Amino acid sequence: MPGSLRIGKIAGIDIAFHVSWLIIAVLLSWSLATGWFAVRYPGWSVTAYWSVSVLATLLLFLSVFLHELAHALVARARGLQVKSITLFIFGGVSNIEQEPPAPGIEFQMALVGPLTSLGLSGLAWLLVLAIGHNGSPLSATFEYLAIANFLLGVFNLIPGFPLDGGRVLHSIIWKIRGNVRSATRVATGVGQFIAYFFIFMGLWIFFRGFVLDGLWIGFIGWFLLSGATAANARSMLEGMFKGVHVNDVMNHNPATVPANISLQKLVDDFLLPYGWRSAFVLQGDLLAGLIALSDIRHVPREQWAQTPVGFVMVPLTRLHTVNATQNLNDVLTLMVGRNLNQLPVVSEGHLLGSISRENIMRFVEIRRSLGLDQASAP
């Protein structure tokens, strides 16, 4: 995700946070120091308000992280690949590359997050009780964490996509009906209903004069609505691509050049005459890499005549490849997840073709023009 900073790796999962979190952290510390703690615990020094607020913000950050890590670890334990966790404004996203293969797995993956938050809330309460509920900065910090984690757990249990509660609902309907797409339709429908409820409640509160509260609730509604709509669109696409393989959509004659020609020849004989922006590089009849305009731009022009394409290309080891029998849904997930535009279709080292976002778009366009997308719906 652009704008995210990597901070480390836990159990093979990259951990990053989005810069938006810094802004939220500052806003949250500020509102805790001047609002929450100042109102509830009068009489502390300014230093005490600010240090408690910064500590509470960092511990909340940790709590959100543990919530997200719980999702990721359960997903991994059930055999799904988890690349990274990115923490941002509302919490976090785990970059889980596949959809859960069975309702039971989705149920566990989704539920463990809110359960972790509720567990952390309980733990914080125990600490408050152990310290003594005495209004000291430490007890106040844990009291805040108990409340915040409780709200986090409950909010995430709201049964609206893309919240965890929405996924729990989705898995239950999936289990009952035995059909994942119909479960998605029902769950996103419920999600949209809840989203509109939040939006109208936000408007109502707004016009009663509570401008900020109204905006905030309306914003949550908008966030839920966009999530539900995206999940629904994704499910429709998945339905459209069901049973469609790379071979049905790929370009069978992708642009290729030999590895031993010079960059000058590549530009003069291939890129300029044909208007290509990139080409696959072949060594003999095997795929060796990919060369794009951006790779050539790094090389000074006076060296073009002496530099072979093979020296500058992105080698095969750094390319993602797919095979012709792969399902289009998997390929699309790979393209979107890694932000790739074009993938080589390979069989035992030989280049069979290429598949790009344009190929897929054209496929969707043609199906739509022929009215076939309607026919494929159950």
Residue numbers at the binding site for Zn ion (CB under 5 A): 113, 164
Question: What's the residue count for the chain?
Answer: 378
How many Å is the maximal CA-CA distance in the chain?
80
User: For Zn ion, which is the closer residue by CB, 164 or 238?
Assistant: 164
* Eight-class DSSP state of 350: E
| Residue 164 beta carbon to Zn ion: minimum distance, rounded to whole angstroms | 4
Residue nearest to Zn ion (CB): 113
- Tell me the sheet residues that pair with 18: 4
- Sorted by sequence, the CB contacts under 8 Å of residue 341 that are 6+ apart come out as 335, 356, 357
Query: Are the C-beta atoms of 173 and 184 separated by less than 8 Å?
Result: no
C-alpha span between 9 and 13 (Å, rounded): 5
| Residue 271 beta carbon to Zn ion: minimum distance, rounded to whole angstroms | 47
C-alpha span between 114 and 159 (Å, rounded): 12
C-alpha span between 206 and 185 (Å, rounded): 31
C-alpha span between 226 and 232 (Å, rounded): 10
Interstrand relation of 82-88 and 13-18 (parallel, antiparallel or unpaired): parallel
| Residue 70 beta carbon to Zn ion: minimum distance, rounded to whole angstroms | 8
| Residue 67 beta carbon to Zn ion: minimum distance, rounded to whole angstroms | 5
User: For Zn ion, which is the closer residue by CB, 1 or 370?
Assistant: 1
| Residue 152 beta carbon to Zn ion: minimum distance, rounded to whole angstroms | 9
User: For Zn ion, which is the closer residue by CB, 18 or 316?
Assistant: 18
- Report the half-sphere exposure of 19 (CA within 13 A, side-chain side): 4
| Residue 94 beta carbon to Zn ion: minimum distance, rounded to whole angstroms | 8
User: For Zn ion, which is the closer residue by CB, 116 or 359?
Assistant: 116
User: For Zn ion, which is the closer residue by CB, 91 or 221?
Assistant: 91
Residue 107 burial (CB count, 10 A):
19
| Residue 2 beta carbon to Zn ion: minimum distance, rounded to whole angstroms | 22
Please classify residue 220 by burial: count the beta carbons closer than 10 Å to its beta carbon, then call 0-12 exposed, 13-18 middle and 19+ buried.
Answer: buried
User: For Zn ion, which is the closer residue by CB, 113 or 289?
Assistant: 113
User: For Zn ion, which is the closer residue by CB, 113 or 227?
Assistant: 113
| Residue 117 beta carbon to Zn ion: minimum distance, rounded to whole angstroms | 8
> Measured in whole angstroms, how far is the alpha carbon of residue 42 from the centre of its chain?
42
- Report the half-sphere exposure of 319 (CA within 13 A, side-chain side): 23
User: For Zn ion, which is the closer residue by CB, 72 or 195?
Assistant: 72
What strands, in cross-sheet order, belong to the sheet with 256-258? 256-258, 278-283, 286-292, 314-315
